[in-house]
């Protein structure tokens, strides 16, 4: 491998949205122009078509598009009538939106620790969190497993606990859409799933967007009502408290073009992740994928001993290799969330990971030469 420092090479992107734009050619522009021509900017035909194709892709009976991943989570809590006195179990090591929607409906987030290898919800910690919630007089209602960095949470173990405790399972697959568990796609597990089409997610639009997936026929009209200000049969009758939760037609048109190449991109991401694993396993802890899972590699996240990752990030920055830290502060330590209960013991794994993790550039257009440059820079920075 090249040993000299390539400081004058152009900086690499963390996610290469421009490369995807180039690959799609004029297809996205034409799709947007079609919407600009028919002018059905809200609830247009592309929205209906996208929902059909998303449901097929995920293997779910229904896909309900919406304005963001955060709103997808909120719409489900609202549709289920989750509220004051209810406990909703969230991993502490996640993006804030997983827990943010819980106080929106007046319920209490209860933080659960994660597993050190997969970064996903620890079923034993979930059991402990349920006991804490009950001791505090809360009613356990919903568990939100997160498919962190693209790998599905342990649906078998979490599903078994949820069935035994009569909890709803809301899968937060904002980072995991396109991954599989036991050969089935995310979006087809639990009582419902929420995903995000934020541009940086594996399937992203050109703005904000999201979707809910469910097999529950009765939930669909409720979700659609929540999405449109709680409307009843008549548009101007309000039968519940809702929101403006729709996906723009323009974003749906863009997503239809991107969904058409998504399978291909999934394969490219997986190739890149496997090359990283092979080249870095001797210098850091590389990501571990459960044998029942495939990851969509929303992030490629390595672990280093405490105190090392920020120096690595600074050294890579000098070589034009961007990195990111997801997440520096676990949710139970965030100022706005520290008041809420957690499973106990200080959630040691979430706390340790928040000091160890760093993510390397990962996208479907990471060519081998760029990747080799990143790998060489990481090895050099770690003195290997
Ligand atoms: C991105 C993300 C969300 C929120 O999605 P938005 O579309 O940005 O609202 C929720 N949960 C997780 C785990 C995420 O990564």
Task: Report whether residue 99 contacts ligand 1, using a CB cutoff of 6 Å.
Answer: no
Show which of 225, 260, 295 is a domain's final residue: 260
- Residue 345 pLDDT > 80: no
Residues 304 and 328 in one domain: yes
Q: What pLDDT is recorded for position 344?
A: 84
Q: For residue 197, report the distance from its CA to the centre of ligand 1, in Å.
A: 8
Asked, for residue 250, whether it belongs to a domain, the answer is: yes
- List residues bridging with 65 in a β-sheet: 211
Residues 236 and 376 in one domain: no
- What digits encode the pLDDT tens for the residues 22-56? 999 999 999 999 999 999 999 999 999 999 999 99
Atom of ligand 1 nearest to the CA of 73: 10
Show which of 260, 278, 306 is a domain's final residue: 260
- From residue 271, how far is each of 32, 261, 265, 331, 363 by CA, in Å? 31, 16, 10, 32, 10
The full 3-state SS of 112-144, as one line of letters, equals ECECCCCCCECHHHHHHHHHHHHHCCCEEEEEC
User: If pLDDT is split at 50, 70 and 90, which confidence band does 346 have?
Assistant: confident
Task: Report whether residue 44 contacts ligand 1, using a CB cutoff of 6 Å.
Answer: no
For residue 73, the SS3 value is helix
Q: Give the contacts of 109 (CB within 8 A, at least 6 positions apart).
A: 87, 88, 89, 90, 99, 102, 103, 331, 337, 340
- Residue 369 pLDDT > 90: yes
Structure tokens at 113: 């620790």
Asked, for residue 338, whether it belongs to a domain, the answer is: yes
Residue ranges making up the domain that contains 323: 262-381
Asked, for residue 7, whether it belongs to a domain, the answer is: no
Asked, for residue 13, whether it belongs to a domain, the answer is: no
Task: Report whether residue 94 contacts ligand 1, using a CB cutoff of 6 Å.
Answer: yes
Asked, for residue 6, whether it belongs to a domain, the answer is: no
Whether pTM > 0.85 for this model: the answer is yes
Structure tokens at 32: 């947007």
In testing the pocket of ligand 1, which one of 65, 68, 70, 151 has its CB within 8 Å of the most ligand atoms? 70
Q: Exposure of 218 by Cβ count < 10 A (0-12 exposed, 13-18 middle, 19+ buried)?
A: exposed
Residues 280 and 227 in one domain: no
Q: What pLDDT is recorded for position 257?
A: 98
Residues 67 and 183 in one domain: yes
Q: For residue 303, report the distance from its CA to the centre of ligand 1, in Å.
A: 22
Annotated catalytic, 201? yes
Residues 212 and 269 in one domain: no
Asked, for residue 316, whether it belongs to a domain, the answer is: yes
Residues 175 and 216 in one domain: yes
DSSP 211: E
Q: What pLDDT is recorded for position 2?
A: 44
User: If pLDDT is split at 50, 70 and 90, which confidence band does 8 have?
Assistant: low
- What digits encode the pLDDT tens for the residues 158-200? 999 999 999 999 999 999 999 999 999 999 999 999 999 999 9
Q: For residue 7, report the distance from its CA to the centre of ligand 1, in Å.
A: 34
Task: Report whether residue 249 contacts ligand 1, using a CB cutoff of 6 Å.
Answer: no
Residue 117's CATH number: 3.40.640.10
What sign does the dihedral 264-269-272-277 (CA atoms) show?
A: negative
State the average pLDDT over residues 129-154: 98
User: If pLDDT is split at 50, 70 and 90, which confidence band does 370 have?
Assistant: very high
Show which of 228, 260, 292 is a domain's final residue: 260
What sign does the dihedral 236-240-243-248 (CA atoms) show?
A: negative
Residues 246 and 301 in one domain: no
Task: Report whether residue 92 contacts ligand 1, using a CB cutoff of 6 Å.
Answer: no
Q: Write out the E strands in 229-296.
A: 293-294
User: Contact 29/253 with Cβ under 8 angstroms?
Assistant: no
The rounded distance, in Å, linking the Cα atoms of 382 and 314 is: 12
Say which of 168, 184, 201, 224 is annotated catalytic.
201
Residues 156 and 301 in one domain: no
Asked, for residue 327, whether it belongs to a domain, the answer is: yes
The average confidence (pLDDT) of the chain is 96
Least confidently predicted of 1-15, 103-117, 278-292: 1-15
Residues 70 and 174 in one domain: yes
- Residue 351 pLDDT > 50: yes
- What digits encode the pLDDT tens for the residues 225-275? 999 999 998 889 999 999 999 999 999 999 999 999 999 999 999 999 999
User: If pLDDT is split at 50, 70 and 90, which confidence band does 7 have?
Assistant: low
User: If pLDDT is split at 50, 70 and 90, which confidence band does 291 have?
Assistant: very high
* 108-112: strand order across its sheet: 62-66, 210-214, 192-196, 168-172, 139-143, 86-91, 108-112
User: If pLDDT is split at 50, 70 and 90, which confidence band does 384 have?
Assistant: confident
Residue 341's CATH number: 3.90.1150.10
Task: Report whether residue 294 contacts ligand 1, using a CB cutoff of 6 Å.
Answer: no
Q: For residue 289, report the distance from its CA to the centre of ligand 1, in Å.
A: 21
The rounded distance, in Å, linking the Cα atoms of 373 and 363 is: 15
In testing the pocket of ligand 1, which one of 67, 95, 205 has its CB within 8 Å of the most ligand atoms? 95
Q: What percent of the chain has pLDDT over 70?
A: 98
Asked, for residue 11, whether it belongs to a domain, the answer is: no
- Total of domains in the chain: 2
- What digits encode the pLDDT tens for the residues 352-367? 999 999 999 999 999 9
State the average pLDDT over residues 288-313: 97
Task: Report whether residue 97 contacts ligand 1, using a CB cutoff of 6 Å.
Answer: yes
Q: Give the contacts of 180 (CB within 8 A, at least 6 positions apart).
A: 152, 186, 293, 294
Q: For residue 34, report the distance from its CA to the centre of ligand 1, in Å.
A: 29
Residues 267 and 339 in one domain: yes
Residues 317 and 238 in one domain: no
Residues 310 and 253 in one domain: no
């Amino acid at each position: 491998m090249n040993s000299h420092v390539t400081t004058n090479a152009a900086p690499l992107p963390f996610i290469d949205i421009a490369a995807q734009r180039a690959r799609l050619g004029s297809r996205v522009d034409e799709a947007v122009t079609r919407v600009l021509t028919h002018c059905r900017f809200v609830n247009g035909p592309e929205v209906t078509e996208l929902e059909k194709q998303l449901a097929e892709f995920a293997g779910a009976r229904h896909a309900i598009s919406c304005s963001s991943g955060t709103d997808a989570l909120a719409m489900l809590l609202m549709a289920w009538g989750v509220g004051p006195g209810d406990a909703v179990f969230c991993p502490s090591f996640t993006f804030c939106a997983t827990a943010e929607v819980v106080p929106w409906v007046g319920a209490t987030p209860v933080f659960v620790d994660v597993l050190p290898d997969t970064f996903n919800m620890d079923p034993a910690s979930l059991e402990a969190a349920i006991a804490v919630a009950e001791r505090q007089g809360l009613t356990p209602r919903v568990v939100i497993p997160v498919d962190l960095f693209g790998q599905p949470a342990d649906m078998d173990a979490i599903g078994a606990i949820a069935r035994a405790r009569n909890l709803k399972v809301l899968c937060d697959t904002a980072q995991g859409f396109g991954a599989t568990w036991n050969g089935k796609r995310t979006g087809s597990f639990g009582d419902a799933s929420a995903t995000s089409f934020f541009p940086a997610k594996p399937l992203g639009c050109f703005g904000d967007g999201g979707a809910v997936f469910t097999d529950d026929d009765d939930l669909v009209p409720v979700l659609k009502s929540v999405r449109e200000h709680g409307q009843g049969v008549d548009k101007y009758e309000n039968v519940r408290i809702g929101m403006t939760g729709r996906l723009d037609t323009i974003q749906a048109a863009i997503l239809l073009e991107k969904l058409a190449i998504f399978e291909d991109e999934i394969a490219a991401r997986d190739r890149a992740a496997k090359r990283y694993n092979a080249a870095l396993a001797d210098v850091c802890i590389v990501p571990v994928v459960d044998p029942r899972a495939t990851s969509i590699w929303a992030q490629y996240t390595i672990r280093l001993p405490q105190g090392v990752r920020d120096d690595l990030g600074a050294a890579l920055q000098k070589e034009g290799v961007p990195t990111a830290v997801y997440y520096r502060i676990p949710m139970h330590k965030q100022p706005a969330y520290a008041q809420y209960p957690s499973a106990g013991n200080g959630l040691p794994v979430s706390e340790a990971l928040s000091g160890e993790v760093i993510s390397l550039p990962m996208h479907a257009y990471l060519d081998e030469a760029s990747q080799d440059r990143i790998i060489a820079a990481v090895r050099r920075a770690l003195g290997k």
